[in-house]
Structure 1
Amino acid sequence: MAAPRVCVFPSARELGPALSSFVLAEAARAVSQRGRFAVAVSGGSLVSLLAAELPEAAAREPEHPGANWSRWVLGFCDERLVPFESPDSTCGLYRKQLLSKISIPNNYVIAINPTLSVEEAADKYAERLRELFPGDNLPVFDLLILGIGPDGHTCSLFPDHPLLQEQSKIVAPISDSPKPPPKRITMTLPLLNAARCALFVVTGEGKAAVLKVRSCF
């Protein structure tokens, strides 16, 4: 396993272009080696950051091999069980802000069905992942773009929550999220740990303390 790298930027102005360049480079590598780029994203401030910078980065290099959107598979590291029209819907926000600007095929955007129960939504999402990663014991994403909350959570895996012990499911429901809305689905640690690359994008003073603690391990 490669040693983790930490890059610090003065502000989001410098972070955004660097993030987009990294994502496109990873996409180009994956397409070259495996014919497609499987990436899963998180919500929060990442949505506007990627939506502002990724299309612009691709426009600056229209022939960039990583900008071959037809070779992308886009998933979500976690999702809130709300309608896509809700401002709490990660998929809904990406559809409005990013997917309206780039042409990833709709059948390669892996979204939950928010009309199902949280347990059924998690099962269907896991089923869809397995369909898109046939033959793999665990779906292996080329890149996960993750955030960290002020309490140290990532995805919808919260400190001291029983889901941190989940080993059999690749996607799990959560009905008692400490952060609203309470009903969500989330990738579990076995799926996160199987990814080829995990990138944590952390901004804001409120997360500095927890990031410092986590970086010591």
Structure 2
Amino acid sequence: MSTPLVEVHADAAALATTVAGELLTRLADAQAAGHVPQIALTGGTIAETVHRELARLSPGTEVDWTRVVVWWGDDRFVPADDPDRNAGQARRAFLDAVGATQVHELPSSDGGDDVDAAALAFEEVVHEHGAGEFEVVMLGIGPDGHVASLFPGHPQLEVVDRILVGVTDSPKPPPQRISFTFPALNRSRSVWVIASGEGKAEAVAAALADTGSVTDTPARGVHGIAETTYFLDRAAASHL
């Protein structure tokens, strides 16, 4: 496993522009090579800023969004139209605007299954439409060091035989979520952890420290096949 790369940018706006531009370059390169790239998106404030930059920058690129397969690393298990849903945020911010058509939202609570059954059933969607590897997985990091909906000390950290898991006791609301597992997230050429603000600085430092545990800081458990990069603004990098 290679040492994570760290990029520090002046502020959240510069960070978002860089991440959006780099993603578009990766997608264009993959498509030029004849691939249909698969990506996993995340939620949160900085993710929304990145998504808006993708909407702004995409028209000037060669990326064909109908040939990009879109997933989410996790989402809230709430009704599909709930504003807390990561999928709805991304659709509003850029997916609808760029014409993405191969979009696979994680299950919502109005599908009839409980959270665990919904997570298990969605694995069939991943088997049908997944390529076995992401081009890029984008993740936020919580102040507690969580990524996706894999929280410190929770049993989902230990799951190695599933693609997705249900979460029923998230320490931040809403309590029920569905998340990709570490083995699934790590089947990515590039894992990007994106963090902005002083409130993330301690978690970022713990994730990048020479010593520490995945149990305490789940972000330590994600890594790309080719690269793992932390995209930070100065505030998020202030404890490094």
The structure carrying a bigger strand percent of its residues is 2
In 2, the alpha carbon distance for the partners of 1:90 and 1:54 equals: 16
TM-aligned CA deviation for residue 201 of structure 1: 0.5
- Structure 1 runs not aligned, ≥5 long: none
Partners of 1:40 and 1:76 within 8 A in 2: yes
- Structure 2 runs not aligned, ≥5 long: 211-240
In 2, the alpha carbon distance for the partners of 1:119 and 1:112 equals: 12
In 2, the alpha carbon distance for the partners of 1:133 and 1:87 equals: 26
TM-aligned CA deviation for residue 125 of structure 1: 2.1
1:155-176: CA deviations, max 9, x gaps?
0000111111101001111111
Which residue number corresponds to residue 151 of structure 1? 144
Q: Confirm whether residue 111 of structure 1 aligns to residue 105 of structure 2.
A: yes
1:151-170 aligned at under 5 Å gives the runs 151-170=144-163
Partners of 2:55 and 2:93 within 8 A in 1: no
Which amino acid letter does the alignment assign opposite residue 154 of structure 1?
V
Which residue number corresponds to residue 121 of structure 2? 124
Which residue number corresponds to residue 81 of structure 1? 77
1:1-217 aligned at under 5 Å gives the runs 1-59=1-59, 61=60, 64-65=61-62, 67-105=63-101, 108-114=102-108, 115=110, 116-133=113-130, 139-217=132-210
TM-aligned CA deviation for residue 2 of structure 1: 4.2
TM-score (norm 2): 0.82
Report the identity percentage.
Answer: 33
TM-score (norm 1): 0.90
In 2, the alpha carbon distance for the partners of 1:46 and 1:34 equals: 31
Which amino acid letter does the alignment assign opposite residue 56 of structure 1?
R
Report the number of matched residues. 207
1:111-135: CA deviations, max 9, x gaps?
123123111221232211110136x
List structure 1 segments (4+ residues) > 3 angstroms apart after TM superposition: none
C-alpha spacing 1:119/1:34, structure 2 compared with 1 (3 Å)? farther
TM-aligned CA deviation for residue 51 of structure 1: 2.8
In 2, the alpha carbon distance for the partners of 1:196 and 1:153 equals: 21
TM-aligned CA deviation for residue 94 of structure 1: 1.4
Partners of 1:111 and 1:125 within 8 A in 2: no
Which amino acid letter does the alignment assign opposite residue 184 of structure 1?
R
Partners of 1:31 and 1:37 within 8 A in 2: yes
